[in-house]
């Protein structure tokens, strides 16, 4: 079954953009800037945070051992017998031994909106720089720039071909994870803040999604 869903992230609090500050991993600052200073969320980062949500959901519904432990390959499927060789999370997001049926595209801003962000950020950056009057304030400078950028939506596509024998299970888990995701990256103190991740015209209703997931997790018990 071919699946293609459009997702849009709307940020409810200011976010930081990684790449300008050294020493912080992509999991802490998952938003990056392209060559023109326009923000985007790499598909790999989106996949990582959604997988984390999916693990929480599967453990809550089916028990602590129903999902393996990412991201270390030694603690990931195939090895947990609870759902056969591969747990529902690996069957949706993949493991080192099994590819995900889904490809996660980058989330990007509409180009016109993104140009506004880039120019606003630049102006503000110059102002802060004069006020501080010191190149040594570089780190603060970068932070100030991005945290004042207007909150613009970022959109992208998640698509793939789910094997017939999986039914709607992986799609349902993906939709539940999207719905559960409310915060990007680390804690609130990191400044990444809250977001709303929305699917345009979801292929399953919320009731169907819950039913399909429940069936998938219990049929394989």
Q: How far is C-alpha 9 from the geometric centre of its chain's CA atoms?
A: 9
Nearer to Zn ion, 7 or 77 (CB): 77
Q: Which is nearer to Zn ion, 68 or 107 (CB)?
A: 68
Nearer to Zn ion, 66 or 121 (CB): 66
Out of 90, 121, 175, 184, name the contact with Zn ion by CB under 5 A. Answer: 90
- Single out the segment in contact with Zn ion by CB under 5 A; choices: 88-96, 107-115, 122-130, 197-205: 88-96
Candidate list 58, 77, 114, 146; residue touching Zn ion; CB under 5 A: 77
The verdict on 171 binding Zn ion (CB under 5 A) reads no
Window 106-135: residues binding Zn ion (CB under 5 A):
none
Cα distance between residue 40 and residue 54, in whole Å: 23
Report the nearest approach of Zn ion to the CB of residue 94 (Å): 9
Shortest distance (Å) from residue 216 CB to Zn ion? 14
* Contact stretch for Zn ion (CB under 5 A) within 15-23, 29-37, 73-81, 130-138: 73-81
- Half-sphere exposure (Cβ direction) of 75: Cα atoms closer than 13 Å: 8
Contact 100, 94 (CB under 8 A): yes
In the complex with Zn ion, the residue whose CB is nearer, 77 or 149, is 77
DSSP 3-54: EEEEEEEEESS----TTSSTT--TTTS--EE-TTS-EEE-HHHHHHHHHHHH
The answer to whether 185 and 69 are in contact (CB under 8 A) is no
Distance CA 99, CA 181 (A): 22
Q: Is 75 exposed, middle or buried (0-12, 13-18, 19+ CB in 10 A)?
A: exposed
Residue 42-71 contact track with Zn ion, rule CB under 5 A, x = bound:
--------------------------x---
Rounded distance, CA 152 to CA 120, Å? 13
Minimum distance, C-beta of residue 79 to Zn ion, in the bound complex (Å): 8
Restricting to residues 19-38, name those near Zn ion by CB under 5 A: none
Number of residues engaging Zn ion in binding (CB under 5 A): 4
- Interface residues with Zn ion (CB under 5 A) are 68, 77, 87, 90
């Amino acid at each position: 079954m071919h699946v293609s869903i459009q997702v849009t992230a709307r940020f409810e609090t200011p976010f930081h953009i990684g790449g300008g500050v050294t020493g912080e991993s992509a999991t802490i600052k998952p938003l990056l800037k392209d060559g023109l200073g326009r923000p985007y969320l790499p598909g790999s980062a989106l996949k990582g945070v959604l997988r984390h949500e999916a693990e929480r959901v599967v453990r809550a519904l089916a028990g602590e051992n129903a999902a393996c432990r990412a991201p270390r390959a030694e603690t990931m499927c195939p090895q947990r017998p609870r759902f056969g060789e591969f747990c529902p999370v690996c069957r949706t997001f993949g493991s080192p031994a099994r590819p995900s049926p889904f490809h996660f595209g980058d989330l990007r801003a509409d180009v016109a909106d993104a140009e506004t962000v880039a120019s606003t950020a630049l102006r503000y950056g110059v102002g802060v720089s004069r006020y501080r009057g010191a190149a040594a304030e570089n780190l603060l400078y970068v932070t100030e720039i991005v945290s004042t950028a207007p909150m613009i939506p970022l959109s992208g596509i998640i698509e793939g071909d789910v094997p017939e024998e999986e039914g709607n299970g992986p799609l349902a888990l993906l939709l539940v994870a999207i719905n559960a995701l409310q915060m990007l990256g680390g804690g609130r103190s990191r400044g990444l803040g809250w977001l709303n991740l929305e699917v345009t015209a979801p292929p399953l209703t919320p009731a169907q999604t819950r039913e399909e997931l429940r069936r998938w997790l219990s049929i394989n018990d």
